[in-house]
């Protein structure tokens, strides 16, 4: 999977996949090619298909992990590359691929490495690369961590129970999942949700709580405990379905600080993502009269300007020549005390004419604390893509110069001047569900580790 992520960013099919199929959704949302529909022969611009959820659109069945069968078993009429037209009976379609078949067919010859196509071992190595890339594409983040839905009935082995608990809690601590314990203890049925900040399993109806150890100690032949991973932010609602508005109240948040944006776990291990990120290897945009690789060049320009600003003393985390590279999706983060379940982070973007555009996003607790033991860090599951992050680091999309760059309102060069030291300063507020709130103002920064 890791090699798949790397190939996605670095392989040379004149471009890499990531340059057109931009993460997280797998599309840069700009026309990069034209395509003539078979019936009309009229050329239409097409944007890279969003690759997220690709398995839903596959029509060819590929079984096993060995040599990819170039004639997959067809399981439905339309699949990848379907252009929306109805097929005439017996008509030709470009739409009968499985992802493995497509990647194998089109990209095998472009896999990095020097290969002798007459050597079966070499062919095998190339094939493995295509399969790794396929696994990565088929597993693009859908917004639901793979563990969600997994349920485990505790057994009499406390070691096994503990291992499962550690696995589940590990995902809660990374803000990837919530955790619920459905129990039948001493004949009383109750469901508890795991509150990471208090490190307690809580039942909102009875107000009973368990520490993790106390809960697992109840797992006996007579008692039932079912641990279940649920969507992040939904544990409380799922544990107590009759009580949708449960809320905690108390002191207003304090010690609130805006923290550096970082990668969620699934993008955290990006490998060497510098390769193929140079001004001449971006996608050619359809209908752009002056410079074909504009979207790419503008992102590099924004990175260069941040490095220059860092050299002049305003360092937001993009400060090395090696940071001219593929920018992976990042979550927003904030730290503070008395931030409670259900809280939201608001970041205020300055629009034109003094209008403030609030970006308000749910936040979830993580295991991370400021300096290792200070206020807990909470983060969004909302992730900003590369352009959004770079635009925010320069003061936000609605700033005329940043708007110009990202929206191509002006195609003339040189690019508009940027001034992150002045423009990157955001008012931010943390809102608890009981109406208490606190915030401040600070520049948005990034970090490259999780």
Name the site residues for ligand HEC (rule: CB under 6 A).
Answer: 11, 13, 15, 17, 19-21, 32-33, 35, 46, 48-49, 51, 54, 57, 80-81, 99, 102-103, 107, 133, 137, 283
CA distance 111 to 129: 7
* Separation of alpha carbons 377 and 388, rounded Å: 22
Q: How far is the CB of 388 from ligand HEC (least distance, A)?
A: 20
Compute the least distance from the CB of residue 18 to ligand HEC, in Å.
8
CB of 110 to ligand HEC, least distance (A): 7
Question: Which C-beta is closer to ligand HEC: that of 54 or that of 386?
Answer: 54
Residue closer to ligand HEC (CB basis): 96 or 344: 96
Q: Is 116 helix (H, G, I), strand (E, B) or coil?
A: coil
Cβ-based nearer residue to ligand HEC, 7 or 375:
7
CA triple 359-363-364, angle to 5 deg? 170
Closest approach of Cβ 275 to ligand HEC, in Å? 13
Nearest to 180 by CA among 214, 158, 142, 151: 151
Structure tokens at 16: 């890499």
Chain centroid, CA 327 distance in Å: 12
Cβ-based nearer residue to ligand HEC, 15 or 216:
15
The helix (run of H) or strand (run of E) holding residue 294 is helix 294-311
Q: Which is nearer to ligand HEC, 11 or 230 (CB)?
A: 11
* Per-residue burial over 85-119, b = 16 or more CB atoms within 10 Å of its CB, e = otherwise: eeeeeeeebebbbbbbbbbbeebbeebeeebeeee
Task: Give the neighbor-by-neighbor strand order of the sheet with 178-185.
Answer: 151-153, 224-230, 178-185, 188-195, 200-202, 209-210
Closest CA to 104 of 127, 79, 74: 127
- Least distance CB 38 / ligand HEC (angstroms): 11
Distance CA(162)–CA(185), nearest Å, equals: 18
Of the pair 49, 167, the CB lying nearest ligand HEC is at 49
Contact 389, 281 (CB under 8 A): no
To ligand HEC, the closest distance from the beta carbon of 35 in angstroms equals 5
Strand order in the sheet with 356-362: 356-362, 344-350, 426-431, 437-442
User: Which residue, chain included where needed, has tokens 């900003």?
Assistant: 384
Nearer to ligand HEC, 57 or 298 (CB): 57
Minimum separation from the CB atom of position 123 to ligand HEC (A): 18
Task: Quote the tokens at residue 348.
Answer: 């205020």
Q: Please say which residue, 49 or 147, places its beta carbon nearer to ligand HEC.
A: 49
Nearest approach in angstroms of CB 283 to ligand HEC is 5
């Amino acid at each position: 999977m890791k090699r798949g992520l790397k190939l996605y960013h670095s392989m040379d099919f004149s471009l890499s996949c990531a340059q057109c199929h931009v993460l997280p959704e797998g599309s840069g949302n700009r026309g990069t090619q034209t395509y003539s529909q078979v019936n009309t022969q009229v050329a239409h611009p097409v944007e890279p298909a969003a690759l997220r959820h690709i398995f839903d659109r596959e029509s060819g069945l590929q079984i096993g992990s060995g040599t990819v069968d170039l004639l997959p078993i067809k399981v439905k009429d339309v699949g990848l590359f379907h252009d929306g037209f109805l097929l005439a009976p017996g008509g030709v379609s470009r739409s009968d691929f499985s992802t493995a078949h497509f990647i194998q067919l089109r990209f095998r010859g472009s896999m990095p490495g020097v290969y002798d196509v007459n050597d079966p071992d070499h062919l095998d190595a190339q094939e493995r690369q295509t399969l790794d890339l396929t696994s990565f594409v088929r597993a693009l983040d859908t917004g639901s961590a793979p563990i969600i839905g997994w349920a485990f009935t505790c057994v009499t082995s406390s070691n096994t129970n503990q291992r499962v608990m550690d696995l589940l809690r590990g995902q809660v601590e990374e803000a990837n999942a919530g955790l619920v314990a459905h129990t039948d203890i001493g004949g009383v049925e109750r469901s508890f949700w795991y509150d990471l900040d208090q490190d307690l399993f809580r039942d909102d109806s009875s107000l009973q709580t368990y520490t993790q150890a106390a809960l697992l100690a109840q797992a006996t032949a007579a008692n039932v405990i079912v641990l279940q991973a649920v969507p992040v932010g939904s544990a409380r609602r799922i544990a107590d379905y009759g009580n949708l508005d449960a809320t905690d109240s108390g002191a207003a948040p304090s010690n609130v600080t805006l923290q550096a944006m970082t990668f969620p776990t699934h993008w955290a291990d990006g490998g060497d993502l510098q390769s193929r990120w140079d001004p001449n290897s971006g996608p050619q945009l359809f209908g752009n009269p002056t410079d074909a690789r504009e979207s790419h060049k503008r992102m590099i320009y924004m990175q260069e300007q941040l490095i220059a600003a860092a050299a002049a003393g305003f360092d937001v985390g993009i400060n090395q020549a090696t940071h001219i590279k593929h920018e992976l999706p990042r979550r927003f983060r904030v730290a503070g005390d008395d931030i409670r379940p259900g809280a939201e982070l608001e970041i205020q973007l300055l629009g034109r004419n003094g209008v403030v555009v609030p970006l308000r996003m749910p936040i979830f607790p993580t295991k991370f604390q400021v300096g290792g033991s200070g206020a807990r860090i909470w983060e969004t599951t909302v992730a900003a893509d590369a352009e959004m992050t770079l635009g925010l680091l320069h003061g936000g999309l609605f700033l005329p110069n940043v708007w110009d760059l990202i929206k191509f309102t002006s195609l003339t060069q040189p690019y508009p001047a940027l001034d992150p030291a002045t423009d990157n300063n955001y008012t931010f507020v943390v809102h608890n569900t009981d109406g208490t709130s606190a915030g401040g103002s600070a520049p948005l920064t990034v970090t490259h580790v999780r």
